[in-house]
Structure 1
Amino acid sequence: MSSNTFTQEGAEATRADRGPEAIPATTDFLHMPAVRAALPFINGGLSGMVATTVIQPVDMVKVRLQLAGEGISSGPKPTALSITRGILAEGKVLDLYTGLSAGLLRQGVYTTARLGIFDTIMGRLTTRARENNTRVSFAERAGAGLAAGGIAAFIGNPADLALVRMQADGLKPLAERQNYKSVADALTSIVRSEGVRALWAGATPTVARAMALNLGQLACFSEAKAQLRTRTDWSPRGQTLAASAIAGFFASFLSLPFDFVKTRLQKQQRGPDGRLPYRGMADCFATVARQEGLTRFYRGFGTYYVRIAPHAMVTLIVVDYLGWLTK
């Protein structure tokens, strides 16, 4: 099953490893050519949605942490714990799941595309490498991860924007809140008040973040899994967990600054003078660095890592299991 390309270097039986010739010659539904081509995308989307449901509270705290103290370089610095306590102190435990519908839609679009595209590219690279009696290089894995992440992020930007707007809404004064009822309500409200183009606000840092994240997550996971397989006698599951933790660190480190800028740009709205706080990604980087300091881009790294690594682990485990069910 091609949706297991993440574990192809760990010797799990995947379409990419086995090659087209190894797929059973059968006419049942799961082995119809169109279904085999679609399964990487379907399994990828489902695995991402399961992971998002588990990790959503951490993502909510991460966004609130990034938006707190905007434009201020001094004063008390909020922490993930203080933000969580504040939400719970208000008796709004369910607020930790604010924007879940947008998060699920984002995974349904973004993760479906990125895992499906990455798996498809890796399958072709693996087949070519086998024909040439070589191995897929790290550079090729990196290229596949960058391409999959960038394309998927652009497609999924509207859902990502809606997620940030829904999570940031609770930070506004009561009179200014939109009180979005769902992701559909958020998207409709944004289009109505700001136009269709606004759905791609922050698309540049979103794509840059996704490319950096996928370079760290997909390429590093594949490489770490290959190295662990040759250097350890751990079980496939142990190799998967260790490799995903390693990939989670590099994905977090490379993508957090872009994630921070993406959140700021997607949250911003025009002021009374009709102007936006930031003119674009470069201006946001420069303004934050000048007003809040360079370390601001990495505030909340621990929270972000806790958001990225478990999400990667859950996604990989679920996609692994779905691949086994549909092999």
Structure 2
Amino acid sequence: MDFLVGGVAGVGAGFFSNPFDVVKTRMQLQGELRARGQHAVYYKNIPHAMYTIVKHDGIIALQKGLVPALWFQLVVNGVRLGIYQQADNHGLLRDKQNNTKFLNSLLFGCISGMSGAFFGSPLQLVKTQLMSYSSDKIAVGTQHAHNGMFFALSKIYKKNGLSGLWRGAHGMMMRNSIGSAAQISSYAVCKEWMDNNNMFQQSKYLSAFVASNIGALVKTVWLTPMDVIMTRLYNQNVDASGNGVLYKGIIDCAQKITKTEGIPAFYKGMGPSYLRQAPHTVLLLVFWDILKDLQKKITNESNIIKNEKRLKS
């Protein structure tokens, strides 16, 4: 049940944050392996990017890749939050005073994030390629003419087999391990501190709201460089053997970006990334708290009914 709760929370958050993910993906691919000033700038900032996408591709294009994005959220957050909650249930995250151990939270946030990323990687691969596909007038990066999620998965599998579906997974796993550790640990510690100091007593979910915003900011700062690398690895074209045409791996990608685009390129799309992460993290973690409370309530009521039946018998 912990895995289902985490997955449902992720799906709820993913629907609202998807347009910013589309903008972020386009901005991260813009000027790929070209020095600043030597490429067309189709997406100047977030509002301009949204306007440009709607103008050339239509308003529905802001929800490109939504289907694999929601499946990705279900899988990744189901595994990630499920593993983290299981660690908490088994007493691995708290001390004798029931306070969160920051390093333990960081460790299991990392492990759970990496695990979720592995299982969700094929969906992230397809999602990235669907989001980057656009009108020729505003195209950035390699363009993959997929007709949908299942068509894309089938096409990639037929061309490169199972290994093709997990291409770039190592980048995704590293990205998610960093992002998950930063997000969950900062959220847990901040929320706990506010609850222990009796802040936001008018609603227990207000502390979750504030803590999740802090978690989103911390996650964005740590996540963006690996997010850029992951986007490039997923979106590049491949040869007949399934090897990337532009990048051999994480280190090669990082080196080429540094050499041609400079260090600031690792923070391309940070604005839309935060605007995606903020509502996504808030909705995800608040939904998670609400669903966990609902799960506890249902479990307690079920136990009460079972005890009453046992006493009557």
Q: Same fold (TM over 0.5)?
A: yes
Counterpart in the other structure of 1:268: 236
Counterparts in 2 of 1:134 and 1:91: CA distance versus 1, 3 Å: closer
Given that 2:132 and 2:143 are in contact with CA atoms closer than 8 Å, whether structure 1 keeps it comes out as no
1:47 and 2:15 are equivalent in the alignment: no
Report the Cα distance in structure 1 between the residues aligned to 2:122 and 2:75, rounded to whole angstroms: 10
Given that 2:118 and 2:169 are in contact with CA atoms closer than 8 Å, whether structure 1 keeps it comes out as yes
Report the Cα distance in structure 2 between the residues aligned to 1:295 and 1:146, rounded to whole angstroms: 26
Q: CA deviation at 1:172?
A: 5.9
Aligned AA (1:87): I
Report the Cα distance in structure 1 between the residues aligned to 2:143 and 2:185, rounded to whole angstroms: 40
- Percentage of pairs with the same residue: 26
Q: CA deviation at 1:164?
A: 0.6
Give aligned pairs, total.
286
Counterpart in the other structure of 2:102: 138
Report the Cα distance in structure 1 between the residues aligned to 2:244 and 2:13, rounded to whole angstroms: 37
Given that 1:41 and 1:113 are in contact with CA atoms closer than 8 Å, whether structure 2 keeps it comes out as yes
Counterpart in the other structure of 2:116: 152
1:62 and 2:24 are equivalent in the alignment: yes
1:254 and 2:222 are equivalent in the alignment: yes
Query: Match of 2:134, SS?
Result: helix
Query: Match of 1:317, SS?
Result: helix
Report the Cα distance in structure 1 between the residues aligned to 2:143 and 2:63, rounded to whole angstroms: 17
Query: Match of 1:88, SS?
Result: helix
Aligned AA (2:291): L
The equivalent position to 2:205 in structure 1, one of 215, 233, 237, is 237
Report the Cα distance in structure 2 between the residues aligned to 1:178 and 1:105, rounded to whole angstroms: 20
Counterpart in the other structure of 1:116: 82
Query: Match of 1:90, SS?
Result: helix
1:172-230: per-residue Cα shift (whole Å, max 9, x none)?
A: 689x9554232111111111123220111111121111011111110110011122223
Report the Cα distance in structure 2 between the residues aligned to 1:178 and 1:138, rounded to whole angstroms: 42
Gaps of 5+ in 2: 297-313
Report the Cα distance in structure 1 between the residues aligned to 2:195 and 2:101, rounded to whole angstroms: 16
TM-score normalised per structure 2: 0.85
Given that 1:125 and 1:136 are in contact with CA atoms closer than 8 Å, whether structure 2 keeps it comes out as no
Aligned AA (1:40): D
Aligned AA (1:74): R
Report the Cα distance in structure 1 between the residues aligned to 2:23 and 2:33, rounded to whole angstroms: 19
Given that 1:65 and 1:80 are in contact with CA atoms closer than 8 Å, whether structure 2 keeps it comes out as no
Between 121-130 and 184-193, the greater mean CA deviation after superposition: 121-130
1:92-123: per-residue Cα shift (whole Å, max 9, x none)?
A: 10011111111011112111100101111122
Aligned AA (2:279): P
TM-score normalised per structure 1: 0.81
1:132-165: per-residue Cα shift (whole Å, max 9, x none)?
A: x564410111111011001111111011111011
Q: CA deviation at 1:243?
A: 0.5
RMSD: 2.3
Report the Cα distance in structure 1 between the residues aligned to 2:196 and 2:209, rounded to whole angstroms: 16
Counterpart in the other structure of 2:36: 74
Given that 2:167 and 2:234 are in contact with CA atoms closer than 8 Å, whether structure 1 keeps it comes out as yes
Within 5 Å, give how 1:165-314 maps onto structure 2.
165-170=129-134, 178-235=144-201, 236-270=204-238, 276-314=245-283
Aligned AA (1:240): A
